[in-house]
Homo-oligomer: A and B are copies of this chain.
Amino acid sequence: MQFQLTSNLIDQIQAYVSVQDEVALKELLTDLHHADIAEILDEVDSDEAAYLVLLLDSEQTSEALMELDEDVREKLLENLTPAEIADEVEEMDTDDAVDMIGELDDDIQLAVINQIEDEEHRADIREMLQYDENSAGGLMAKELIKVKETWTVAGCVREMRRQAEEVTRVHSIYVVTKENELIGRLSLKDLLTSDTRTKISEIYIPKVDSVNVNDPAEDVAKLMQKYDLEAIPVVDDKRVLQGRITIDDIVDFIKEEAEKDYQMAAGISQDVEADDSILQLTRARLPWLFLGLLGGVGAAAIMGGFEEVLNDHVILLLFTPLIAAMAGNVGVQSSAIIVQGLANDDVKGSIGNRLIKEMLLAMLNGAALAIVLFFYVWISESAVDYATSISISLFVVIIVAGIIGTFIPLFLHKRGIDPAIATGPFITTSNDIFGILIYLYIAKLILGI
């Protein structure tokens, strides 16, 4: 029953496209879900994809277009004229239309908008292009069911039928005043069970959550998750109903956010995927690697400064990678917990308390690890002074690394900077350097060199 994309199917489609066999293609594709069409568009060349978009019904392809990755969609649209793009936009919900048009070059944007025939749709899109992409206004769609408080149940059902034609799914019925001010919502159950002559003002529920068009998308996502909302109305400063945001838009947003944090922690900037080109991947990865190189060179320079010490105590040098690695590991652990906690609003209390907790934790972990290392060095090198010096260093380095890993993201967050940039290579590199510096100082102190 489930659709399965095979290379056979792709070959077949490409063969039909090359001979322009419209009948065969329509038969093959017309009944597919738009998400499946999207998978096909993703696999074929961009000119073939453009051919398919023009061939198939815009009702189907407009939704498929929105399922594609931005760069695939961009290439595909380069093969279409503004009028052809406008045909697709015509079938889209306003939120999708705005997303897609926003990706086009400025002059093409204008040409496409001017080709949209539905006047209301065109005005809605123009208006929505004003909003910040990451605000409630940028996420919302204009399509919704609204009823006036002065209507009767009968008039309401009649009006709903008319509105429902433009709306894919009915999430909620919003109740507004004559001036379109949001005042409540209507339960379907109440609508079904009330007498047809009842006034809406008698049966509506005056309690309704809403967000402002300028609220950040992140806050909307948190609110909808916390209260398990499937849709939320969006109002302007005068509480006039402007649109609604549905949970499926938020699902994508939540997932992207969680993935972005992970990528940053792994030292990958920009939004790249395994299937992107080598050049795109390099652009996302190389800057972080340069940072790492800089850290390594810094560590080498520091060690060079201790050369006279190290020449006589080569054994100390054997453990520098261990110290650097442990400093990095602890730093990444602490920062990851803080970054996720901040993302989920789980981090309460003062920075001071947080640091004390992390210090206690690091002392516990550090002590356990230092004891193991002490015995290892003692037994393998039979040198109790080296063993003491190296394990005490490890203990101190772990505590400092934990504190740095906790403090930096909290500090950035307080300053309004995304704390995720502090994880990964940044923390690892700075902790490497601090770790080695501490290590060599303690060795000098304890070994009396």
Contacts and interface: CB of A to CB of B under 8 A. Distances in A.
Interface of A: 33, 35, 157, 160-161, 164, 169-170, 188-189, 192-193, 225-228, 230, 247-248, 250-251, 254-255, 258-259, 261-263, 265-268, 272-275, 278, 281-282, 285-286, 288-290, 292-293, 295-297, 299-301, 303-304, 307, 310-311, 314, 317-326, 328-330, 332-333, 335-338, 340-341, 344, 346-348, 354, 357, 360-361, 364-365, 368-369, 372-373, 376, 380, 398, 423-425, 428-429, 432, 436
Contact of A274 (B281, B338, B365): B338
A288 B329 contact: yes
A321 B432 contact: yes
Secondary structure dominating the interface of A: helix
Contacts of A380: 301
Contacts of A226: 35
A313 to B, nearest CB: 11
A188 B161 CA distance: 10
- Integer count of this chain's copies in the complex: 2
A377 to B, nearest CB: 9
Contacts of A262: 258, 261-262, 265, 336, 340
A367 B145 CA distance: 59
Contacts of A188: 170, 188
Given A300-B318, A300-B321, A321-B321, 16 more contacts: A161-B192, A170-B188, A266-B337, A266-B423, A267-B329, A267-B333, A268-B336, A273-B346, A274-B338, A275-B347, A278-B360, A281-B361, A282-B365, A288-B329, A301-B380, A320-B320
